[in-house]
Chain A
């Protein structure tokens, strides 16, 4: 079972949390107040940039001190009834036996503010008032106007970007545990790239370490230089490693990436990420349906169809993916782009040949390409002494003749031919029947 290192190496104890020691201390103190029964505030809001350990701290604390951390998605807060049930139940258990103490963790609370209904915020506020268990909220940007009422109720704990040294140290520990030989300058570069985001640094490390035991500075080159590409890689990780539809759908949240671009990346990475062919067939089936939603959306200008296309194209690959590849599989650039570049010249030659055939033979260029070009190519590459005549008739250039000879002359096609002839000859009964009927 392949695990993302960001999960595998999440801190198990509070002391293992990297950096932001002041903030860690503030959180631990607040939790102690709860244990004494008198918290200064009923909720805490941990805020700061991504990948600096906000959620990890809560999980580590819960693990170390015997709390169940109940994670709720921000969108659940819309449903006040359900939330009351969770909170109410949790507090009851807490008073009865003390064994299953609970922390309620609300991730991406700034996401609520972005949504159209402010009802979520007021519901959350009410619940904070009534709760008997600690509520920890996490946000990147807590300064949204709509979050003002919550800010008042919560203990605000800021997390900052991690410094380079701390990141390098952590990466080194991981490499040791994974048995990877790694150079200091490489780790330093990874740390630099991450801009204080430990999670993305670990992600990058796992990406370049796939299947290797020695890493050098050169290995970093496989990671895209541009920010945009990094965003795509990260989105892809979300998509393929998602455990739920909700998680997969979130791949596009907070990223400046249009869904149709991400789609091409998902499409071309699917075969490597989903080695089981049955699962791949399922995934491509769902991707094909997502494609139809895009088509309908564009055709009918029915933009609301996007909300079906996105979970289909993201969850559509993570849900059927039951058997991940052995070892971490690198994400790759879409093949389509490469093919278009590689064969640009060939494509143009073919077009020019088709145009010439078209003007001579009363055919559209398309039909000339499909119906005539292969035959002419074949004939040209067979009959040496008449090549000049045919070429002259169509006014082909030397380059065009060379292309036709290469594409339809003897060579790479021999093998195909063998396959074809063999499988045809395996069906003698069929052929006779057919001829008789005709």
Chain B
């Protein structure tokens, strides 16, 4: 059978919820948003919740329902990602540019600006942004999306209607994956679904990506196919680093770690999370794992405190290497 159809569009985009009704498992949020749509009195809003549960998609669906299908092309809606913007200055410029003019012929007198990953803004930037919100509120409403609402300063929170997005349930993710599989005419067995879910950690984006990658090698997807993808695409690199360290090749492990940090540009915190996931499966005594877990937590904390990522992670790898060495000696 031809695999041609498989990869035309990234499925995360293809199966993104288009209307509020498509959004999975956020009934309370959706009901409130629909009420807002009725009155068209749109407040500033803060969407808080874990990654991959539909915050950005909801903002888009909301705007589409409010302004119609060409909400972006007609200039009513714009999206800025806070984690890519350096400092408040660029944001202020962009907001100004965007909010200064209102398109002709709209019945709604304001635009919507989605500030994604807004918890990435520094405190200073947030304080400055708070004034921007006030200055432009007649012509522009803001939707702030954030993983952690407690990283948004009080004055901003108090100016926003706060919507809490719930983590997706296992059923939500499995049902959606099953549905997409149907649309794409794939055969996915139960064990494969379980594995996709387990690895997704509640992040729908990750689950859909895994499915699409698996579909690119086979229309029949079983557990083995999924592991193949996970090993290949998402976990292979960390795995390799850990295996190298455990095999006594510390310098090689170090060089691979550096490639992750400096070539791939991964953040130390993400590398720590990936190591955390693997740690439980390593071939070490439970005592050693416990000790390493504690050390990993320390590494995590130190990086947040300003420690250099490669240095802190190297110290962890060396300790891991020493533990494995001890084990083989016994």
Show the binding face of A for B, using Cβ within 8 Å. Answer: 267, 271-272, 277-278, 280-281, 283-285, 287-288, 291-292, 294-296, 298-299, 335-336, 339-340, 343, 346-347, 350-351, 354, 358, 360-367, 369-372, 374-380, 382-383, 385-387, 389-390, 393, 408, 413, 416-417, 419-421, 423-424, 427, 430, 434-435, 438
User: Are B306 and A372 in touch, CB under 8 angstroms?
Assistant: no
User: Are B307 and A292 in touch, CB under 8 angstroms?
Assistant: yes
| Contact pick for A363, options B60, B81, B254, B311, CB 8 Å | B81
User: Are B265 and A350 in touch, CB under 8 angstroms?
Assistant: yes
Contact with A along B286-330 (1 / 0, CB 8 A): 000000000000010010011110111011001101100110000
Interface residues on chain B, number (Cβ under 8 Å): 83
Task: Name which residue of chain B comes closest to A297, CB basis.
Answer: B306
Task: Name which residue of chain A comes closest to B13, CB basis.
Answer: A361
What is the CA–CA distance of A376 and B13 in the complex, to the nearest angstrom?
Answer: 12
Q: Is B12 an interface residue (CB 8 A)?
A: yes
User: Are B7 and A335 in touch, CB under 8 angstroms?
Assistant: no
User: Are A372 and B170 in touch, CB under 8 angstroms?
Assistant: no
User: Are A351 and B212 in touch, CB under 8 angstroms?
Assistant: no
What is the CA–CA distance of A25 and B84 in the complex, to the nearest angstrom?
Answer: 72
Task: Name which residue of chain A comes closest to B253, CB basis.
Answer: A271
18 example contacts (A-B, Cβ-Cβ < 8 A) are as follows A271-B251, A272-B251, A278-B326, A284-B315, A288-B299, A288-B307, A291-B311, A292-B302, A343-B259, A363-B56, A364-B116, A370-B266, A375-B233, A379-B212, A383-B216, A416-B237, A420-B230, A424-B281
User: Are B84 and A364 in touch, CB under 8 angstroms?
Assistant: yes
Inter-chain residue pair count (beta carbon < 8 A): 218
Q: Is B231 an interface residue (CB 8 A)?
A: yes
User: Are B216 and A378 in touch, CB under 8 angstroms?
Assistant: yes
Residues of chain A within 8 A (CB-CB) of B265 are 347, 350-351, 354, 366, 369
| Contact pick for B81, options A336, A364, A419, A423, CB 8 Å | A364
Contact with A along B179-195 (1 / 0, CB 8 A): 00000000000000010
User: Are A379 and B262 in touch, CB under 8 angstroms?
Assistant: no
Show the binding face of B for A, using Cβ within 8 Å. Answer: 2-10, 12-13, 51, 56-57, 60, 79, 81-84, 116-117, 120, 170, 194, 197-198, 205-206, 209-210, 212-213, 216-217, 224, 227-237, 239-240, 243, 248, 250-251, 254-255, 258-259, 262-267, 270, 281, 283, 299, 302, 305-308, 310-312, 314-315, 318-319, 321-322, 325-326
User: Are B318 and A284 in touch, CB under 8 angstroms?
Assistant: yes
Residues of chain A within 8 A (CB-CB) of B302 are 288, 291-292
Residues of chain A within 8 A (CB-CB) of B3 are 382-383, 385-386
What is the CA–CA distance of A383 and B5 in the complex, to the nearest angstrom?
Answer: 10
A360 in contact with B13 given A336-B262, A383-B216, A417-B228 (CB within 8 Å): yes
What is the CA–CA distance of A408 and B234 in the complex, to the nearest angstrom?
Answer: 11
User: Are A281 and B312 in touch, CB under 8 angstroms?
Assistant: no
User: Are B209 and A371 in touch, CB under 8 angstroms?
Assistant: yes
| Contact pick for B322, options A281, A288, A346, A372, CB 8 Å | A281
B150 CB to closest chain A CB (Å) equals: 20
Residues of chain A within 8 A (CB-CB) of B243 are 416, 419
What is the CA–CA distance of A279 and B266 in the complex, to the nearest angstrom?
Answer: 29
A252 CB to closest chain B CB (Å) equals: 19
User: Are B212 and A375 in touch, CB under 8 angstroms?
Assistant: yes
User: Are A362 and B60 in touch, CB under 8 angstroms?
Assistant: yes
A209 CB to closest chain B CB (Å) equals: 23
Residues of chain B within 8 A (CB-CB) of A291 are 302, 307-308, 311-312
Query: Beyond A272-B251, A369-B264, A417-B232: 11 further Cβ-contacts under 8 Å?
Result: A271-B250, A271-B251, A277-B321, A295-B306, A362-B60, A372-B10, A375-B212, A390-B10, A420-B239, A423-B283, A430-B281
Task: Name which residue of chain A comes closest to B310, CB basis.
Answer: A336
What is the CA–CA distance of A343 and B263 in the complex, to the nearest angstrom?
Answer: 6
A422 CB to closest chain B CB (Å) equals: 10
Residues of chain A within 8 A (CB-CB) of B319 are 281, 284-285
A435 in contact with B322 given A350-B265, A420-B239 (CB within 8 Å): no
Task: Name which residue of chain A comes closest to B237, CB basis.
Answer: A416
User: Are A385 and B4 in touch, CB under 8 angstroms?
Assistant: yes
What is the CA–CA distance of A329 and B41 in the complex, to the nearest angstrom?
Answer: 73
B264 CB to closest chain A CB (Å) equals: 7
Residues of chain B within 8 A (CB-CB) of A430 are 281
| Contact pick for B281, options A295, A351, A427, CB 8 Å | A427
| Contact pick for A386, options B6, B170, B198, B312, CB 8 Å | B6
| Contact pick for A416, options B236, B248, B299, CB 8 Å | B236
Residues of chain A within 8 A (CB-CB) of B307 are 288, 291-292, 295
A295 CB to closest chain B CB (Å) equals: 4
What is the CA–CA distance of A387 and B3 in the complex, to the nearest angstrom?
Answer: 11
B146 CB to closest chain A CB (Å) equals: 12
Residues of chain A within 8 A (CB-CB) of B264 are 350, 369
Residues of chain B within 8 A (CB-CB) of A287 are 311, 315
User: Are B83 and A366 in touch, CB under 8 angstroms?
Assistant: yes
Residues of chain B within 8 A (CB-CB) of A390 are 7-10
| Contact pick for B227, options A284, A346, A358, A420, CB 8 Å | A420
User: Are A296 and B205 in touch, CB under 8 angstroms?
Assistant: no
| Contact pick for A421, options B2, B227, B266, B305, CB 8 Å | B227
A54 CB to closest chain B CB (Å) equals: 38
What is the CA–CA distance of A419 and B245 in the complex, to the nearest angstrom?
Answer: 14
What is the CA–CA distance of A311 and B79 in the complex, to the nearest angstrom?
Answer: 50
What is the CA–CA distance of A343 and B120 in the complex, to the nearest angstrom?
Answer: 28
What is the CA–CA distance of A438 and B171 in the complex, to the nearest angstrom?
Answer: 11
Residues of chain B within 8 A (CB-CB) of A294 are 308
What is the CA–CA distance of A291 and B303 in the complex, to the nearest angstrom?
Answer: 10
User: Are A419 and B240 in touch, CB under 8 angstroms?
Assistant: yes
| Contact pick for A376, options B10, B197, B311, CB 8 Å | B10
